[in-house]
């Protein structure tokens, strides 16, 4: 079956770019590539955003191929997709598109989540509106038909839950599970799931995620020169489209640049890794990235890739059943929960406004963006449960004639 897909590559100036191509012929598809260049790249969208939207459009062209639809010819003759075809498109984008050769039969009929389906239909509608405006000669005469056509596609989008829904509350790592993880990840522990060659590196990765609450892109973007050992500070810097970064799938820093303090123990572990394992594996690779590949071969000494990072996190899940759904981002939620707990237990009064400013500063969020509340939900829910139970106890004590004052 002929398929359409995306190809991401790195330009000489370091810029990451992607195209949509016909996988059978290897030839880029003209209009989708023009859309990517003029509407996404020229709008300074990140490569991750471009890849996401390009993937949606490639999926749309796969649907067109299967249905034998020439969308450009249809638009030029004002024969847009009819209601039945739009319904078929809605169902098609709701399917999980697997690239693996082996498919689990149990998962074969599972669809994508509502948010993914929403993004796919939104992107396709956006692309079709642009394509109509580009290819229809008398655009003023056909504006109403185009608008109606696009609205029909958008009307098929599912309703989605917002980020701060109750389902996002319990994304932290339980205290007992965290204790087990930190114990087993010790390089000397017999239960450590990693090869001895990478144990110190992987322990350091876990400790940084846990103690600083930084994102995957921020971790993999760290360079040795970002560490000031004298001041015990670690600097988070944005380096999109870096020429020195050999990774096509470049880890990106999505947050604001900032300086983070380091404890004595974290400083010691970093210094030990840089002068020990990293020095032994960097070879003649001329880059400053902190975490590198230790595996023998041509890639040894290269910056640690995003897939390799996720493999490390995936391996950690095998340590204990309580860690079976561990993700790197859960460390970020856990840091925020522990921060809230620390502020609540502190004997020094810190106002809610100041707490939010402190949290946003450390996390790299825009002040007043409201993101802090998203990550603070578990602590708020836990405290509200305690208060509600206390209130109920007081009510029953009063009914039994016991004063609760």
Q: Is the residue at 70 inside a domain?
A: yes
What is the end-to-end Cα distance of the chain in Å, rounded? 75
Structure tokens at 30: 């003209």
Same domain, 135 and 189: no
Phi-psi region of 241 (alpha: psi -120 to 50; beta: other; left: phi over 0): left
For residue 315, is it within any domain? yes
Same-domain check for residues 83 and 202: no
The answer to whether residues 147 and 247 belong to one domain is no
Judgement on whether residues 140 and 60 belong to the same structural domain of the protein: yes
- Using CA atoms, how far apart are residues 180 and 319, in angstroms rounded to an integer? 8
Rounded Cα–Cα distance for residues 334 and 176 (Å) = 13
By the 8 A CB rule, do 339 and 348 touch?
Answer: no
pLDDT digits (tens, 9 = 90+) for 196-229: 999 999 999 999 999 999 999 999 999 999 999 9
Q: What is the pLDDT of residue 238?
A: 93
pLDDT of residue 403: 52
Range of the domain at 289: 175-332
d(C-alpha 233, C-alpha 328), whole Å: 22
Residue range 107-134, pLDDT digits in tens: 445 688 888 999 999 999 999 999 998 9
Nearby residues of 287 by Cβ (< 8 Å), 6 or more positions away:
223, 244, 245, 246, 303
313, 236: one domain: yes
- Are 146 and 194 part of one and the same domain? no
Half-sphere exposure of residue 9, counting CA atoms within 13 Å on the CB side?
7
Can you name the residues that pair with 300 across neighbouring β-strands? none
The pair of three-digit structure tokens given for residue 103, joined into one six-digit string: 């498919």
For residue 404, tell me if it sits in a domain.
no
- CA–CA dist 148, 380 (Å, integer): 44
The phi, psi pair for 223, rounded to 5°, reads -120, 160
Last residue of a domain, one of 332, 363, 383: 332
Residue 215, domain CATH: 1.10.443.10
Same domain for 107 and 244?
no
Nearest Cα to Cα of residue 334 among 218, 227, 181, 229: 181
Q: What is the pLDDT along the chain (405 residues), one digit of tens a residue?
A: 458 999 999 898 889 999 999 998 999 999 999 999 999 998 888 888 999 999 999 999 999 999 999 999 999 888 899 999 999 999 999 998 765 333 343 444 568 888 899 999 999 999 999 999 898 877 666 678 888 999 999 999 998 765 554 555 568 899 999 999 999 999 999 999 999 999 999 999 999 999 999 999 999 999 999 999 999 999 999 998 888 898 999 999 999 999 999 999 999 999 999 999 999 999 888 899 999 999 988 899 999 999 999 999 999 999 999 999 999 999 999 999 899 888 888 888 888 888 888 899 999 998 877 777 777 666 777 777 777 777 777 777 766 665 545
CA atoms within 13 A on the CB side of 39: 19
Retrieve residue 18's tokens: 């992607």
Q: What is the pLDDT of residue 352?
A: 82
Q: Are residues 144 and 199 in the same domain?
A: no
Domain count, the chain: 2
The answer to whether residue 366 is domain-embedded is no
Q: What is the pLDDT of residues 153-204, one digit of tens each?
A: 999 999 876 555 455 556 889 999 999 999 999 999 999 999 999 999 999 9
| Average pLDDT of the chain to the nearest whole number | 87
Nearest to 331 by CA among 341, 343, 323: 323
SS3 261: strand
Give the per-residue pLDDT at 145. 85
199, 314: one domain: yes
How would DSSP label each residue in 185-236?
Answer: TSTT-TT--S-GGGHHHHHHHHHHHHHH---HHHHHT-BGGGEETTTTEEEE
Half-sphere exposure of 75 (CA within 13 A, CB side): 22
Question: Would you tell me how many other CB atoms lie within 10 Å of the CB of residue 254?
Answer: 12
Q: Report the C-alpha gap between 238 and 221 in whole angstroms.
A: 8
pTM score, two decimals? 0.74
Same domain, 8 and 129: yes
User: Residue 141: what pLDDT?
Assistant: 65
Task: Give the Cα separation of 124 and 59 in Å (integer).
Answer: 9
Q: Find where tokens 């004997």 sit.
A: 347
Q: Are residue 288 and residue 233 in the same domain, yes or no?
A: yes
Beta bridge partners of 7: 19
Residue ranges of alpha helices (H) inside 77-113 are 83-93
SS3 132: helix
């Amino acid at each position: 079956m002929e398929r359409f897909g995306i190809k991401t590559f790195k330009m000489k100036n370091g810029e990451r770019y992607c195209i949509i191509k016909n996988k059978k012929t290897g030839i880029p598809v003209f209009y989708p590539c023009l859309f990517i260049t003029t509407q996404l790249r020229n709008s300074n969208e990140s490569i991750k955003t471009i890849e996401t939207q390009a993937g949606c459009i490639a999926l749309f062209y796969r649907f067109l191929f299967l249905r034998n639809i020439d969308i450009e010819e249809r638009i030029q003759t004002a024969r847009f997709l009819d209601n039945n075809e739009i319904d078929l498109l809605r169902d098609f984008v709701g399917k999980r598109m697997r690239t693996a050769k082996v498919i689990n039969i149990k998962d074969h009929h599972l669809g994508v989540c509502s948010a993914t389906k929403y993004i796919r239909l939104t992107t396709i509608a956006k692309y079709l509106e642009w394509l109509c405006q580009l290819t229809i000669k008398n655009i003023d005469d056909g504006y109403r038909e185009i608008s109606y056509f696009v609205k029909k596609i958008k009307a098929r989008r599912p309703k989605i839950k917002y980020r701060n829904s109750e389902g996002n509350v319990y994304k932290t790592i339980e205290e007992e599970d965290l204790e087990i993880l930190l114990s087993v990840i010790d390089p000397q522990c017999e239960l450590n799931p990693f090869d001895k060659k990478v144990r110190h590196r992987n322990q350091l990765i876990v400790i940084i995620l846990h103690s600083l609450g930084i994102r995957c892109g921020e971790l993999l973007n760290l360079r040795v020169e970002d560490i000031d050992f004298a001041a015990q500070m670690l600097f988070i810097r944005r380096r999109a489209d870096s020429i020195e970064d050999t990774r096509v799938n470049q880890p990106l820093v999505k947050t604001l640049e900032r300086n983070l303090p380091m404890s004595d123990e974290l400083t010691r572990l970093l210094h030990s890794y840089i002068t020990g394992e990293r020095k032994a594996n960097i070879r003649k690779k001329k880059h400053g990235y902190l975490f590198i590949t230790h595996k023998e071969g041509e890639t040894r000494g290269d910056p640690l890739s995003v897939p390799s990072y996720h493999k490390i996190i995936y391996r950690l899940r095998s340590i204990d059943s309580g860690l079976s759904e561990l993700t790197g981002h859960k460390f970020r939620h856990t840091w925020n929960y522990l921060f809230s707990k620390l502020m609540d237990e502190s004997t020094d009064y810190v106002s809610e406004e100041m707490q939010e400013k402190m949290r946003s500063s450390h996390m790299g969020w825009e002040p007043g963006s409201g993101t802090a509340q998203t990550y603070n939900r578990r602590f708020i829910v836990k405290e509200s449960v305690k208060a509600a139970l206390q209130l109920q106890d007081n009510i029953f004590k009063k009914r039994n004639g016991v004063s609760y004052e």
